[in-house]
């Protein structure tokens, strides 16, 4: 069994990770760390675990966690992870970080978009961006994985084949993304009160959202040149799910069949990618509760523009599920172990 600890177990991403790990046939949950709820059973905080997982949360004890764990997941706020992870890494642990702290290759880019100083810039070159569909071989031998953000996961998977093959004008990319309220985390705020979210939809952090830089980093690697794009996130009056509608100008005339063949070849054998046939587009109902990413597209021949629609569950493929997928790769398990289930739909 793989001995697993989760640091930051009681946030929304953290508890979804715990739920997935609890059902994983090769995992033993050793430590659930929560500074806010130390000594309280996890089932008191999230009663859906009552009678199933009643383990008490604990304070952070680096030495104990390192001694008793094979892999540590950190689901902490950005700026906190990079203060905790170096000590685990120095003790030889494999670490999968769900914050933004180790997703970047450049401390300068991180500091520009996050507005804080990176406390462990020397470790950025050792980290691997944990998007298996693009970085599987690197993940296999990594000891530090920066688990991708939810918006970037959806957008990058939606765009990767087109960018890699140079079929779109890289200066024309527009990403219009909409997310459920869990994407903002568990910390209370006025913007997330029921009366603010219900029967409403709003754009936020227009042209300034930090995930812009993460998307640009990965697309620039694929394109082998710098990519700058427009990204606008929106808050939906739902709990979970991301739907990204992505626009780009084509460099040449393509049919739906051309694009479908391109995506089919690029994602051949990928267990969590589902491509929609012509006339069908993804919805968040198709993916919520799963680690799947659904992708569909329309070729607008009138404007010679492609519209890509991609959907994921922000808490699973956009957080905990992708982290488990990365763990499976690290430990040479079938990548789908503990994750092969359809979305809830209802």
Q: What is the pLDDT of residues 299-318, one digit of tens each?
A: 999 999 999 999 999 999 99
Task: Tell me the per-residue pLDDT of 183-229, one tens digit each, with 9 for 90 and over.
Answer: 888 777 888 888 888 999 999 999 999 999 999 999 999 999 999 99
Task: Tell me the per-residue pLDDT of 111-142, one tens digit each, with 9 for 90 and over.
Answer: 999 999 999 999 999 999 999 999 999 999 99
Instruction: Tell me the CA distances in angstroms from 197 to 13, 129, 146, 172, 181, one per residue in order.
Output: 20, 32, 30, 31, 8
Packing angle of the helix pair 132-140, 150-164 (nearest 10 deg): 100
The residues assigned a catalytic role are 150
Domain co-membership, 168 together with 253: yes
Whole-number Å distance between alpha carbons of 126 and 268: 28
Domain co-membership, 291 together with 235: yes
* Residue 328 is assigned to a structural domain of this protein: no
Residue tagged 């689901």 (tokens) = 75
For residue 193, what pLDDT is reported? 85
Q: What would the mean pLDDT of 143-164 be, rounded to a whole number?
A: 99
Q: CB–CB of 112/122 below 8 Å?
A: no
The CATH number of whichever domain residue 46 belongs to comes to 3.40.50.720
Q: How confident is the model at residue 99 (pLDDT cuts 50, 70, 90)?
A: very high
Domain co-membership, 57 together with 19: yes
Tell me, yes or no, if the pTM score tops 0.75: yes
Q: How many domains does the chain have?
A: 2
Structure tokens at 62: 């680096």
Domain co-membership, 181 together with 304: yes
- Which residues span the domain enclosing 84? 2-126
For residue 186, what pLDDT is reported? 77
Return the CA Rg of the chain: 20
Domain co-membership, 275 together with 155: yes
Q: Mean pLDDT score of the chain, rounded to an integer?
A: 97
How are beta strands 230-235 and 202-203 bridged, if at all?
Answer: antiparallel
Q: What would the mean pLDDT of 33-37 be, rounded to a whole number?
A: 94
| 3-state class (DSSP) for residue 192 | helix
Work out the end-to-end distance of the chain between its first and last CA atoms, rounded to an integer number of angstroms: 34
Q: Render the burial of 123-149: b for 16+ CB within 10 Å, e for the rest.
A: bbeebbbbbbbbbbeebeebbbbbbbb
Element (H, E) at 295: strand 293-300
CB atoms within 10 A of CB 314: 29
CB atoms within 10 A of CB 271: 16
Task: Tell me the per-residue pLDDT of 167-180, one tens digit each, with 9 for 90 and over.
Answer: 999 999 999 999 99
* Residue 333 is assigned to a structural domain of this protein: no
């Amino acid at each position: 069994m793989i001995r697993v600890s989760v640091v930051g177990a009681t946030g929304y991403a953290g508890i979804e990770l715990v739920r997935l790990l609890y059902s994983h046939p090769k995992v033993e949950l050793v430590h659930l760390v929560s500074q806010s709820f130390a000594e309280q059973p996890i089932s008191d905080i999230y009663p859906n675990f009552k009678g199933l997982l009643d383990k008490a949360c604990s304070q952070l004890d680096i030495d104990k966690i390192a001694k008793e764990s094979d892999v540590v997941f950190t689901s902490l706020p950005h700026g906190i992870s990079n203060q905790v992870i170096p000590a685990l890494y120095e003790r030889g642990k494999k670490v999968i970080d769900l914050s933004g702290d180790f997703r970047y290759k450049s401390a300068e880019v991180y500091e520009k978009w996050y507005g804080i100083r990176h406390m462990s810039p020397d470790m950025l070159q050792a980290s691997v961006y944990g998007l298996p569909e693009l970085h599987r071989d690197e993940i296999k031998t990594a000891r530090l994985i920066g688990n991708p953000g939810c918006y970037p996961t959806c957008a990058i998977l939606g765009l990767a084949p087109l960018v890699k093959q140079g079929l779109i004008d890289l200066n024309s990319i527009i990403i219009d993304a909409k997310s459920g309220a869990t994407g903002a985390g568990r910390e209370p705020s006025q913007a997330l009160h029921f009366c603010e979210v219900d029967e409403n939809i709003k754009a936020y952090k227009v042209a300034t959202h930090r995930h812009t830089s993460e998307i640009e980093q990965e697309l620039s690697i694929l394109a082998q040149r710098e990519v700058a794009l427009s990204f606008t996130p929106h808050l939906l009056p739902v709990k979970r799910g991301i739907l990204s509608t992505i626009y780009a100008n084509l460099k040449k005339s393509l049919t739906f069949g051309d694009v479908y063949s391109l995506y089919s070849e690029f994602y051949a054998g990928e267990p969590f990618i589902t491509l929609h046939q012509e006339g069908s587009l993804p919805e968040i109902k198709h993916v919520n509760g799963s680690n799947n990413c659904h992708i569909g597209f329309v070729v607008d021949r009138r404007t010679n523009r492609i519209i890509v629609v991609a959907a994921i569950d922000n808490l699973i493929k956009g957080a905990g599920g992708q982290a488990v997928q990365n763990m499976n790769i690290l430990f040479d398990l079938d990548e789908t172990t503990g994750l092969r289930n359809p979305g809830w739909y209802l």
